[in-house]
Structure 1
Amino acid sequence: MILNRTRRAAVAALLATVAATPALADEGKWLPSQTPQIAAKMKAAGLKLDPAKLGDLNLAPLTAIASLGGCSASFVSSEGLLVTNHHCVYGSVQYNSKPGQDYLADGFLAPSFAEELPGAPGTRIFVIESLKDVTADVTRGLSDKMSGLLRAERIEASRKALISACEKQPSRRCDVRAYYGGATYFLQQQLEIKDVRLVYAPPSSVGNFGGEIDNWQWPRHTGDWGFYRAYVAKDGSSATYAKDNVPFHPKAHLTIATDPLKDGDFVMVAGFPGYTNRLATAAEAKFQYGTYYPAFQKFLSDYSDAIMAATAGNKATTIAYASIVRGADNYKKNALGQIAGAEAIGLNEKKAADEKAYRDWIAASPANAKYGYAAQALDRIVAEEEQRQIADMRRSALNRAQLLMAARTALRWAQERAKPDAERDIGFQDRDRQSIVERLTQIERRYDPKVDRILFEQAMREYAAIPADKQDPAFLAAVKAAGIDTLYSGTKLADTPTRIGWLDKPVAAFEGSDDPFIKLAVAMAPGDAKARAEGKDLEGRDQMARSVYLKGLIAFAASKGEAVAPDANSSLRFSYGNITGKSRDGMRWMPFTTVEGVVEKTTGREPFISPDKLVAAVKAKDYGRYADPILGTVPVDFLSTLDITGGNSGSATLNAKGELVGLAFDGTIEGVVSDWYYEPSINRSISVDQRYMRWVMEKVDGAGRLLAEMGVK
């Protein structure tokens, strides 16, 4: 399962980072506007589309690509049908499940439009409409003499003004994202669809076949797909769930490929990759792999183990915490792969060599002096950032206690609501209220007081490992004064209406409350505010140095006739490559797996259980039109050199003509280091083949209605 994370959240979630080298032929998460720079290479690799049309957001395939706010997806019918990964719809499957109605185990298929289920609160579909360069607007008035805090606040104010103007259009969700360390900014405009319904998800015995044992491994036999549908009001406007809403009609949808896919074929992937930092420094890579990832892997292992122990034997809590456990297990395995991959390719040596080449170029000409000054400043800032990351990671564990997280969120909302909307921090403006309500609502089906208490006690042990001078005395005193028994016995925040109701109360109500979790949030507030100010100051200084440093890197690449793809930042990107296996330590990885492999792996024990109907169809060789002419059977998953990362989950894998051939959902364990450094000899992505998806839909799950809707004949 591909991960998603934010850049600075390397302190709280897994991050990607590095590679200061210009892009190789298959490397790069390219912006649509960069198509002309790489058109010749793409055509040489096998692209049959006009590259100019490929980069046009008003034409297929890009206009059919959507974001789920953490995963990617694509429209596959004119009736708003959207395909993505099983693990991307997993939260909605879990939210609609309960003992006696276990859609996680049994799967879900709506027999009709009317029987499609509302997605989990907060489920959204974002349809890309435009990407506009707004660098001049964001950086206007900035001065190198400003403090880091003032610089960050000026940039944020400019971003908010641009977002506000963009969102004056109804039903739009806009954001201004930084590229090349803040050297460039683009305004991303998307249509926000709020009524998202679960249409179909195969049982976990298909969608999560192999579980964590097979995660990040090859050969792979996972049917990682699921379907949502986008709904809007009758007048076409975006609206929250209502029975009389109607399916959304996208500008275009993807065509399902009919030509067989084979070894060596050109493929592309389009989606919203999360965050990488290939353009970070060698020092950042060394710290991340030598210090941060080992600590982070243990941090997640302890978390997952605690939940598994606390929910063992209890069906209700196992379902409630299923998506949380799956995410934690995915991250911890990724962290192990990151460490192993870095050692295998000699990451530190490669990064140091690449950086030396760039800095030697800087030193070779007085005209490059500004890049040298930026490099020196950035090195100092990076050293400062390193001192914060482990402590911030441990602090983040406190929000595993969901009622404490709710109390802190509600108090922060009250504090920001006291300001004019334009002066509030991003994430706490009026535009964000609904998403906060939905996040707090989700707790009702993902919370158990006994489990939550265990996780809070574990979080307190993590906090105790922070150096004493970095701990918050007010927080510790408040926990001691309340006592953990009282925190859970005296709170009313487990009640959803009560929890949501706090969003309408002023700060004074929080300060006068006797709810123990509210009191704890109030005690933490000054320390939280101080940490945010320090973080913003560091962010502003980082932007000032890194933006200049990376402008120099772009100039260095241009001097060699090469282009540099910006690091992923959850905006629309595409990458390209080819179907191919690889050799590894005496083994040959074939590029396709088959349904025979599914049956061979099936043991009848988790996570290698397969539906009886699927096994019977394979034994009967009932392949129909889905048999590959070369393989003689149905392909399941395939390998390619596509350059993907977290957020690419569910991304459409396209052939040379822009037709859907699969869905990207994972990489191989030794290749996850590609978030830091792309090494073509080991980097492989895994996609589920759309022929396996359609075969299961027709022969196993009886989803012929959906196949017909997608135009499959």
Structure 2
Amino acid sequence: MLLRTRLALLALTFLTALTARADEGMWLPLLLKQLNEADMQKKGLKLTAEQIYSINQGSLKDAIVQFGGGCTGEIISDQGLLLTNHHCGYGQIQQHSSVENDYLTKGYWAMSRDQELPNPGLTATFIVRMEDVTSQVLAGVPTTGIVEAEREKLVQLNSQRVAQAAVQGTGYQAFVRPMFNGNEYYLFLTEVFQDIRLVGAPPSSIGKFGGDTDNWAWPRHTGDFSIFRIYAGPDNKPAPYSPDNKPFKPRHHLPISLAGVQPGDFTMVFGFPGRTNEYLTSWGVEETYAVSNPAKIAIRDAKLKVLDADMKASDKVRIQYAAKYASIANYWKKWIGENRGLKKLDAVRVKQQQEAEFQRWAESGDAARRAAFATLLPDLKRSYASARDYTLARDYVSEAALGVELVSYANSLLPLLDLVDQKVPAAELKAAVEKAKKGVAGFFRNYNAPTDQKVAAQLLPLYATGTPPALLPTYVKTLSQQYAATGWDAYAAQLFSKSRLTDQASALAVLDAVANGKPETLRQDPAAQLAAAVVGNYRAAILPTYSAATDQIALLQRTYLAGQRLQQPERKFYPDANSTLRLAYGQVAGYEPADGVKYDFYTTLDGIMEKADPTNPEFEVPARLAELYQNKDYGPYAYKGSVPVAFIATNHTTGGNSGSPVINGKGELIGTNFDRNWEGTMSDIMFDPDRVRNITLDVRYMLFVVDKYAGAGHLVKEMTLVGGPEAAAGSDSNQKVKKVKVKRKKA
């Protein structure tokens, strides 16, 4: 009886997993009409799919950009004003900062257009259109009898042809991305703007309030936003930076709602999610949970402790390493939460149940089904087993060995020695050296050798002991023996004292020596020798087997997903995130993460003051913000006697969704996505509607900070405020709040 009950429960769990769960999914805007429109409208959407994504008229998609290479931004005025997260703009804010002008600490606000700061290399990318090009990409690609690497070469060639044909005679750019593990392919036509200027950023005490303590956590009180502006040439088209450029005129900008949110309200997140693995097998989940994540967590934990101590001891180091620290800490904490979530969901067992059902389906079919799918899962199991040690070794190379900046920098110079060994013409070598020299100043501007030496002393022994012995370079084994008595601290001291790559002047001298026919200056540098040993061993002893195994896994995973879509024809499948434009939708909702714990759906300025701690840099409150709170000077941004700061909803998000607009059913901006709750970080692998919540900066707190705190009401005047009581748009303005519909302009 007990066994029968257990089997029934397992079957119920499996069926639940097969159903398209509430609010799960990162959907292609192109397919909203056929897959999602009706469901979205049932949940509160007042727009049509055409008003969200259109190529013939202005739509919501025309207000969404990929900000740089890894975040999202949204256009919030008809003059190209761009809103994203503080942590997305952090690198640019840092680059403009110095000890004398510390914009990270004090914030920055351009009070006129000529004070808006250019950011070389920063881009904002709009999606012009997307198209299913599967038939073109797979034309001439054999379905059997071809190894994965060769198939990928053919796919890439076809993809390049498709992209080139799409942009011929236009000023656009294009790329093709695989969907469903390479079962389908989509073309994305883009317009990339290059002149992006910093307009405003709150101080870190607002933009990073709560720091790493609150990162990936709820309740949250972080004013995580920054403001930029897109500039264009005289034809409103992309142009390199020029003081003569004009603010970009978008096809659509998002109106901003002052109405706020309530539980059950419809929400959608429109942006560029980075990467998910929702269709990973049990062996992939187990590898992530038990092998890869624990190793990376331990390595980053050691590095963060060193950086934290040195940043607290020196303002110069704090500014140099602020962006690096934030980047390292972000996924360190995410992986910890992900593992907790996978354990709580018993993810490996759930995946095993799904695989057992798939195996029964495969074996119960006709000869063609059995031939295509019956041996698939056993083959996947073997491939993961063969890759396990090589995956771990790869993680230790990338996180530990190359986590030492000196080693990583030396590795970036090794291609110069390859050119020397290839006996290329002197002019070609000198050109390569000149290119390398251009990056020297940028590297050393944010580098502190004493800090990196301490990092090396911590990370190199982790690399030496954590790498499977058979895959560790002989050079490093020798070092372990040589320094067995004195320890890795002694080796790190010697490495940094003898290397000529630890400061800008000597690094330039090394590069000049290479250009002048003295490559041994670089070849004999101890940092270059260590990098050459680590990377050379990786390429010779690790990469070939790792690549062969992962290629086989990719092939089998593609077949497995194709089989699942045949097995479950009633299910709506969505492709894993891959940094392409997606829409997720859900509803505002609190949650109960544990027994006896219940979280409300929003936070307020009151919570900031409750957390305030002048002895803890993560919880410092600016005097001006405290004054506004004390005087209850909230302007039109108040709600129930305070200012709303953040809220949560059930949207499916991941990295890359940082900065994404959170939009209500009318197409109005209600907030900016900036994080997930810690209990929901496993949603990259397995979604749980009861626990997964995206964390959103309430747009009213952004407006409050810009207007009342910074006194930059001129920026609020640019925006279109809708949905609230009639109120001034900016404290010194008489502009009234408007009701605005989605603008429709001919392309």
- The verdict on how the C-alpha distance between 1:578 and 1:486 changes in structure 2, with shifts beyond 3 A counting, is closer
TM-score normalised over the length of structure 1: 0.87
Q: Deviations over 1:16-72 (max 9, x none)?
A: xxx974532310011112212122211111111012332335632112111121111
- CA–CA distance in structure 2, aligned partners of residues 346 and 314 of structure 1: 44
- CA–CA distance in structure 2, aligned partners of residues 190 and 495 of structure 1: 38
Kindly report which structure 2 residues correspond to 1:547-696, keeping only aligned pairs within 5 A, or say none.
547-558=558-569, 561-584=570-593, 585-605=595-615, 606-628=617-639, 631-696=640-705
- The verdict on how the C-alpha distance between 1:368 and 1:86 changes in structure 2, with shifts beyond 3 A counting, is same
Q: Deviations over 1:328-385 (max 9, x none)?
A: 2222222221122122222223222233333332233225321333333333222233
- The verdict on how the C-alpha distance between 1:314 and 1:437 changes in structure 2, with shifts beyond 3 A counting, is same
- CA–CA distance in structure 1, aligned partners of residues 516 and 477 of structure 2: 22
What is residue 133 of structure 1 aligned with on the other side?
132
Q: Deviations over 1:434-454 (max 9, x none)?
A: 999997664233211222233
Q: Deviations over 1:640-659 (max 9, x none)?
A: 11111111111100000111
Provide the aligned length of Structure 1 versus Structure 2.
Answer: 679
Question: How far 1:175 sits from its partner (Å)?
Answer: 3.1
What is residue 315 of structure 1 aligned with on the other side?
315
- CA–CA distance in structure 2, aligned partners of residues 469 and 701 of structure 1: 58
CA contact (8 A) 2:60 2:667 kept: yes
**Residue type at the aligned position of 2:404:** A
- CA–CA distance in structure 2, aligned partners of residues 216 and 681 of structure 1: 17
- CA–CA distance in structure 1, aligned partners of residues 299 and 440 of structure 2: 24
Helix, strand or coil at the partner of 1:188? strand
**Residue type at the aligned position of 1:193:** F
Question: How far 1:403 sits from its partner (Å)?
Answer: 4.3
CA contact (8 A) 1:493 1:499 kept: no
Q: Work out whether 1:368 is the aligned partner of 2:369.
A: yes
What is residue 3 of structure 1 aligned with on the other side?
none
- CA–CA distance in structure 2, aligned partners of residues 688 and 56 of structure 1: 27
Q: Deviations over 1:91-111 (max 9, x none)?
A: 111122121221111111112
Kindly report which structure 2 residues correspond to 1:61-460, keeping only aligned pairs within 5 A, or say none.
61-68=60-67, 69-119=69-119, 122-139=121-138, 140-142=140-142, 144-163=144-163, 172-366=172-366, 367-369=368-370, 370-396=372-398, 397-412=400-415, 442-460=442-460
- CA–CA distance in structure 2, aligned partners of residues 412 and 701 of structure 1: 48
- CA–CA distance in structure 1, aligned partners of residues 41 and 513 of structure 2: 56
1:44 paired residue among 24, 42, 45: 42
654-663 or 59-68: bigger deviation: 59-68
- The verdict on how the C-alpha distance between 1:49 and 1:616 changes in structure 2, with shifts beyond 3 A counting, is same
CA contact (8 A) 2:258 2:700 kept: no
- 5+ residue gaps in structure 2? 1-15, 423-430, 484-490, 722-728, 730-747
**Residue type at the aligned position of 1:576:** Y
Question: How far 1:475 sits from its partner (Å)?
Answer: 7.2
CA contact (8 A) 1:149 1:538 kept: no
- The verdict on how the C-alpha distance between 1:415 and 1:373 changes in structure 2, with shifts beyond 3 A counting, is farther
**Residue type at the aligned position of 2:708:** K
TM-score normalised over the length of structure 2: 0.83
- CA–CA distance in structure 1, aligned partners of residues 439 and 31 of structure 2: 36
What is residue 423 of structure 1 aligned with on the other side?
none
- CA–CA distance in structure 2, aligned partners of residues 163 and 383 of structure 1: 37
Question: How far 1:80 sits from its partner (Å)?
Answer: 1.9
Q: Work out whether 1:701 is the aligned partner of 2:702.
A: no
- The verdict on how the C-alpha distance between 1:512 and 1:448 changes in structure 2, with shifts beyond 3 A counting, is closer
**Residue type at the aligned position of 1:39:** E
- The verdict on how the C-alpha distance between 1:417 and 1:621 changes in structure 2, with shifts beyond 3 A counting, is farther
Helix, strand or coil at the partner of 1:384? helix
Question: How far 1:679 sits from its partner (Å)?
Answer: 0.8
Helix, strand or coil at the partner of 2:383? helix
Bigger Rg over Cα: 2
- CA–CA distance in structure 2, aligned partners of residues 499 and 22 of structure 1: 60
What's the % identity of the aligned pairs?
31
Q: Deviations over 1:578-614 (max 9, x none)?
A: 0111234223311111112222221223221112222
Helix, strand or coil at the partner of 1:321? helix
CA contact (8 A) 1:116 1:197 kept: yes
- CA–CA distance in structure 1, aligned partners of residues 60 and 242 of structure 2: 30
**Residue type at the aligned position of 1:94:** Q
- The verdict on how the C-alpha distance between 1:312 and 1:208 changes in structure 2, with shifts beyond 3 A counting, is closer
What is residue 472 of structure 2 aligned with on the other side?
471
- CA–CA distance in structure 2, aligned partners of residues 185 and 522 of structure 1: 38
Q: Deviations over 1:418-439 (max 9, x none)?
A: 99xxxxxxxxxx9xx9999997
Question: How far 1:464 sits from its partner (Å)?
Answer: 0.7
153-162 or 346-355: bigger deviation: 153-162
- The verdict on how the C-alpha distance between 1:464 and 1:156 changes in structure 2, with shifts beyond 3 A counting, is farther
CA contact (8 A) 2:281 2:351 kept: yes
CA contact (8 A) 2:457 2:492 kept: no
- The verdict on how the C-alpha distance between 1:39 and 1:237 changes in structure 2, with shifts beyond 3 A counting, is closer
**Residue type at the aligned position of 1:586:** G
Question: How far 1:532 sits from its partner (Å)?
Answer: 4.7
CA contact (8 A) 1:437 1:500 kept: no
CA contact (8 A) 1:510 1:518 kept: no
Helix, strand or coil at the partner of 1:88? coil
Q: Deviations over 1:626-685 (max 9, x none)?
A: 123xx3432110011111111111110000011110011111111111111111111111
- CA–CA distance in structure 2, aligned partners of residues 161 and 412 of structure 1: 30
Helix, strand or coil at the partner of 1:87? coil
365-374 or 166-175: bigger deviation: 166-175
- The verdict on how the C-alpha distance between 1:435 and 1:107 changes in structure 2, with shifts beyond 3 A counting, is farther
